[in-house]
Structure formats: C-alpha cells, structure tokens
C-alpha cells in the first residue's frame, strides 16, 4: 500500500506541475483537469493512509466511533472510572496522607481512569501509523493546501464537490 501511495504522489506531482503551467496560461481546460486530477490523487493517497486507522471503541464505549460520548458515559462507568475514588478519600477527614497517596496512585494506575476521548484516539492514531505514514499525511495535506492557494493566486477557486472530487473553477 505504501508503494501505491508513493506512486500516487509521483503521478500527482507530475500532473500538478503540468496543471500549474497550463493554468498560468489562463483558460486552458487541460490545466484545470490536470490540477483537479492531481488534487484527487493527493486526496486518495491521504485517504489510503487514514484508512489504516481502525475506528474502534474502548471498553467503556467511548471513542471516535461514538462522537456523542460525553460526561454521562463516564458517570455510567462507575466509581472505579476516575476521580470519584480520590474525591471520597479526600472527603473523609480521618484519611491520612498515605491513604490519599494510595488513592491517587490507584486512580492513576486504573485502566478505567477517565481519559479524554480525543487523547485516546490520538494515541491509537500514533500507534497505528508509522513515521513514513506521518510524512505521507503531512506531505499530502501540505500539497493540497499549496495547490488550493496557487489556484487562488491565479484567479481560480479549488474545492471539493458533493461527490468528494476536487473541482477547479475560474473566478473567486
């Protein structure tokens, strides 16, 4: 898959170079078509890399597959899910310093400790993608942004259509 993404990027670079030259000459449909195709190639390479990340949820059912998850989901997970253990220990005036330290340690080490869903998703992404994948993502995003900016500078508008394909039109 990495070779396919790399080939896509090479093809997109060639198309983009030709498209920029043709766009600079104004009015050439071939230039618009080349730039649109290059943007589609970059987008497909980006999508292929992103497809390697499986949107799975954790045992509490909170994760990218459930974007509506919120504080109530953490409450349903019960007192072992986070700070409530620590709060109970702190509320008890007879608790000594060692009790508080033990409670803090147990909360920190608990696998069910309440964690930000975005942080969990970010960690899964970091684990799923290699350094080469990250470079590919950054490269594709940067090239798409630069191409859209170049189109704008030449008097064209670039954006994705309702079908997800890139479109380049003259006029801002």
pLDDT in tens, 89-124: 445 555 555 666 666 666 555 545 555 677 777 777
DSSP state of 156: E
Range with lowest mean pLDDT among 28-32, 56-60, 85-89, 133-137? 56-60
pLDDT score recorded for residue 122: 72
Place of tokens 């919120």: 70
Q: Characterize 63-83 residue by residue with b for buried, 16 or more Cβ atoms within 10 angstroms of its Cβ, and e for exposed.
A: bbeeeebeeebbeebeeebbe
Please check the confidence at residue 79 and state whether its pLDDT lies above 70. no
Q: What is the pLDDT of residue 65?
A: 46
pLDDT, tens digit, 9 for 90 and up, residues 153-164: 878 888 888 888
Q: How confident is the model at residue 29 (pLDDT cuts 50, 70, 90)?
A: confident
Rounded to two decimals, the pTM is 0.48
């Amino acid at each position: 898959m990495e070779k396919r993404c790399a080939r896509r990027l090479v093809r997109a670079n060639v198309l983009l170079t030709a498209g920029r030259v043709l766009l600079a000459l104004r009015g050439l449909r071939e230039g618009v078509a080349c730039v649109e195709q290059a943007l589609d190639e970059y987008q497909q390479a980006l999508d292929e890399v992103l497809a390697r990340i499986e949107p799975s949820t954790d045992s509490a059912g909170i994760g990218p597959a459930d974007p509506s998850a919120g504080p109530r989901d953490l409450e349903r997970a019960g007192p072992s899910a986070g700070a409530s253990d620590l709060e109970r220990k702190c509320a008890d005036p007879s608790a000594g310093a060692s009790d508080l330290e033990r409670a803090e340690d147990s909360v920190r080490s608990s696998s069910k400790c309440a964690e930000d869903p975005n942080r969990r998703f970010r960690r899964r992404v970091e684990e799923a993608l290699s350094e080469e994948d990250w470079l590919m993502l950054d490269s594709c995003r940067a090239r798409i942004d630069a191409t859209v900016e170049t189109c704008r500078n030449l008097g064209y508008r670039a954006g994705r259509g309702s079908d997800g394909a890139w479109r380049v039109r003259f006029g801002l």
